[in-house]
Amino acid sequence: MIEILRGDITKVKADAIVNAANSSLMGGGGVDGAIHRAGGPAILEECKKIVEKQGRCETGQAVITTGGRLPARFVIHTAGPVWRGGSENEAAKLASCYRNSLRLAVDNNCKTIAFPNISTGIYGYPKKEAAEIAIKTVSDFLSKSDRIEKVIFVCFEEENARMLEQFLNSK
């Protein structure tokens, strides 16, 4: 089941929320900054350990940490692609973010997971194209696995919510 919500993902009580992070995993602005601020220092501590052990989180990949003080149990950090006009495999990389985050959620027995609109802020991905990829990739995943009960798209911006609803309804 897919749900579309308006609001702040740091307030969402899902088993896992996804962070639109960057490859360094050291925090940043946008939703990344909001998640680290609300969740507290335990999240960054785990990110540092992950980087020490396995290096940076390449674009399209995902890693999992505690949710710290957040209502969510886990944070899944994924590095979205920077939009460079569409010729650098951005679409495939963005789809990988959604797919790898869902796989990690399943591996950690999460039944509910919330996503922000990855790459559509600071990374400049066109919102409509990103919404289409998000709905398609998540729907495909859910049609092949029954381990996830609910995926929530949490939209900070009205426009993103509208576009996701359009693609969801036209499926």
Residues with catalytic annotation?
32
Choose, by CB under 6 A, the member of 43, 116, 135, 141 that binds ligand AR6.
116
Choose, by CB under 6 A, the member of 74, 98, 115, 156 that binds ligand AR6.
156
Query: Considering the rule CB under 6 A, would residue 122 count as an interface residue with ligand AR6?
Result: yes
Q: How far is the CB of 26 from ligand AR6 (least distance, A)?
A: 8
Query: Considering the rule CB under 6 A, would residue 97 count as an interface residue with ligand AR6?
Result: no
Q: How far is the CB of 6 from ligand AR6 (least distance, A)?
A: 9
Smaller CB separation from ligand AR6, 24 or 109:
24
Reading the block at residue 105, the tokens are 């959620």
Reading the block at residue 101, the tokens are 């985050």
Query: Considering the rule CB under 6 A, would residue 140 count as an interface residue with ligand AR6?
Result: no
Smaller CB separation from ligand AR6, 34 or 147:
34
Choose, by CB under 6 A, the member of 59, 96, 101, 120 that binds ligand AR6.
120
Choose, by CB under 6 A, the member of 59, 112, 117, 137 that binds ligand AR6.
117
Size of residue set near ligand AR6 by CB under 6 A = 25
Q: Say how far apart CA 134 and CA 97 lie, in whole Å.
A: 9
> Is there a contact between 122 and 27 (Cβ–Cβ < 8 Å)?
no
Q: DSSP letters along the chain, please?
A: -EEEEES-GGG--SSEEEEEE-TT-S--SHHHHHHHHHH-HHHHHHHHHHHHHH----TT-EEEEE-TTSSSSEEEEEEPPPPSSS-SSHHHHHHHHHHHHHHHHHHTT-SEEEE--TTSSTT---HHHHHHHHHHHHHHHHHH--S--EEEEEESSHHHHHHHHHHHHT-
Smaller CB separation from ligand AR6, 122 or 147:
122
Task: By CB under 6 A, name the binding residues for ligand AR6.
Answer: 8-10, 20-22, 28-32, 34, 80, 116-123, 154, 156-157, 160
